[in-house]
Amino acid sequence: MSKDQDQKSPYGAGFIAACIVVGAVLICGVVIIFASGHGATPASAAAQPPAASTSAQPTDEPAPAPATSSAGAAETNGTDKRQTSACGLPAGDQAVPSTAPAADSWDVSRRVVVPHSSTYGPGKTDTDGFRHCFAHSPTGAVYAAYSAIAAIADQSKLVPTVTKLMVPGPATDSLLRQVATAAPSGDPSTVQVVGYRIIDAGQDRVTVMLAMPVESVYMSANLTLVWHQGDWRLQPPPPGEAVGAPFSQHRDLGDFVKWSGI
């Protein structure tokens, strides 16, 4: 993204100051932080070994290697933890995908290349292009995370995207009030997701680190997905915090499962 494109975005300063990260803000904001050094690892960190990038994770995050969490930490929603999705996709294999899943196809959704699977989803695509209804499994959550990036890449659909994508609650209501008064940029982001890393995987809650190429390195964002009413929804941040934080820079994809359709 060029400097001129950054300046055109009405969300650039807002993301840095208020962490309003929706629409293309998640992607453009990552680039803005990368270029300016506000709230992210300094550019010199790109020369460090990949393992150093994990220091940006909160200290209270579980160690990524087991990629599991206790059932008590998961949101039960009062339903069977192995329930099918709202569109009938079975939960299926509950193993954490340590290797790239098999995708039936890679589709372009809002200019972002995303995976599609008859097993993992999406089971539905709305008329506005919003993809939803994924399998109730860690692999289904990874598919949902990729589609979440595509969903928030188009600033012209901020309000319906936040409404459909985020877990309902006060934090989402606050986010909706902010985006409803913002003037979106005319150009959606085209940054692509090229790899993932499972940080934590419970039965109803999965945190995925997604890698995106930015200039000569990679920037990662963290998305936490919660099983809500038969689908994976994105957990909104508390007001004043950024969707996707903590962000990190990575020299290569050594810490990630490489997975992309580009």
pTM, two decimal places: 0.73
Helix ranges (H only) for the chain are 3-8, 12-18, 25-36, 138-151, 158-165, 170-180
- Please list, in sequence order, all residues whose beta carbon lies within 8 angstroms of the beta carbon of residue 126, skipping any fewer than 6 positions away: 132, 164
pLDDT at 34: 32
Domain ranges of the chain: 3-258
Q: Strand, coil or helix: what is 10?
A: coil
pLDDT at 35 over 60: no
Query: Which of 253, 250, 226 lies closest to 237 in space, CA to CA?
Result: 226
pLDDT of residue 3 exceeding 60, the answer is no
pLDDT in tens, 237-261: 888 777 888 899 999 999 999 999 9
Q: Is the confidence at residue 47, as pLDDT, over 50?
A: no
Query: What pLDDT, on a 0 to 100 scale, did the predictor assign at position 188?
Result: 52
Highest mean predicted confidence (pLDDT) among 12-16, 52-56, 77-81: 77-81
Residue 80 has which token pair? 């069977």
Which residues have a Cβ under 8 Å from the Cβ of 43 and sit 6 or more positions away? 34, 37, 249
**CA-to-CA distance for 162 and 205, rounded, in angstroms?**
19
The more confidently predicted of residues 14 and 109 is 109
- Give the angle 241-40-185 at the CA atoms, nearest 5°: 65
Q: Per-residue pLDDT for 29 more than 90?
A: no
pLDDT in tens, 180-214: 876 655 555 567 999 999 999 999 999 999 999 98
Fill in the amino acid letter for 168. Answer: P
Alpha-carbon gap, residue 113 to 111, rounded angstroms: 7
Question: Which of the 8 DSSP states describes residue 182?
Answer: S
pLDDT in tens, 151-189: 988 878 889 999 999 999 999 998 888 888 766 555 555
**What pLDDT, on a 0 to 100 scale, did the predictor assign at position 205?**
98
